[in-house]
């Protein structure tokens, strides 16, 4: 149990550290633009995009509809355009179902779906500017995000 607490604490520390290290993006996002990037990747870490699995590395751009995956020794730290921070632990799968960050147009939306594994989430500007536009879903629950941070673990079935 103590080991799990330290792992979650490490993920949270990584997410908070990334928040202070990354400048805000202000460019509007659409389907043809990256929604964020991989800040850190360790072990087996990949993105599934249109059925193709690609290993990730720092600076790798992530897109709407991508699925982030980690293996038994893997972890991923991602930063989104609105400064949302996401850290995935080992054996995790998360899909980016929706992402719109267009401040000049007043359009905001982020929907992330955690399929399995563990994650630490620190909300960015979308949940601050449009709280109803941010959601984090799991197989058994959906969380409306209202400018917060949290850790989640989804057990495999």
Q: With helix as H, strand as E and coil as C, how does the chain read?
A: CHHHHHHHHHHHHHHHHHHHHCCCCCCCCCCCCCCEEEEEEECCEEEEECCEEEECCCCCEECCCCEEEECCCCEEEEEECCCCEEEECCCCEEEEEEEEEEHHHCEEEEEEEEEEEEEEEECCHHHHHCHHHEEEECCCCEEECCCCEEEEEECCC
| Overall number of domains in the chain | 1
53, 77 Cβ separation under 8 angstroms: no
Gap between the Cα atoms of 40 and 51, Å rounded: 23
Asked whether residue 7 carries a pLDDT value surpassing 60, the answer given is no
Domain limits for position 130: 2-154
Residue corresponding to tokens 């630490």: 120
Two structure tokens written together for 123: 């909300």
Question: Which range has the top average pLDDT, 28-37, 88-97, 121-130?
Answer: 88-97
| Domain CATH number, residue 149 | 2.60.120
Residue 131 — very low, low, confident or very high, per pLDDT cuts 50/70/90? confident
67, 93 Cβ separation under 8 angstroms: yes
Residue 99 — very low, low, confident or very high, per pLDDT cuts 50/70/90? very high
Asked whether residue 23 carries a pLDDT value surpassing 80, the answer given is no
80, 101 Cβ separation under 8 angstroms: yes
* pTM (2 d.p.): 0.78
């Amino acid at each position: 149990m103590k080991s799990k607490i330290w792992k979650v604490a490490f993920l949270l520390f990584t997410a908070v550290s990334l928040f202070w290290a990354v400048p805000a993006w202000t460019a509007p996002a659409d389907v043809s633009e990256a929604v964020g990037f991989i800040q850190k990747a360790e072990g087996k870490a990949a993105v599934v995009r249109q059925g193709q699995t690609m290993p990730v590395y720092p600076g790798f751009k992530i897109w709407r509809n991508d699925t982030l995956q980690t293996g038994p020794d893997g972890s991923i730290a991602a930063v989104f355009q609105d400064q949302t921070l996401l850290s995935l632990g080992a054996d995790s799968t998360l899909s980016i179902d929706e992402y719109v960050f267009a401040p000049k147009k007043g359009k905001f939306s982020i929907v992330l779906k955690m399929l399995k594994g563990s994650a630490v989430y620190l909300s960015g500007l979308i949940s601050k500017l449009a709280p109803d536009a941010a959601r984090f879903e799991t197989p058994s629950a959906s969380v409306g995000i209202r400018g917060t941070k949290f850790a989640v673990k989804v057990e495999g079935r």
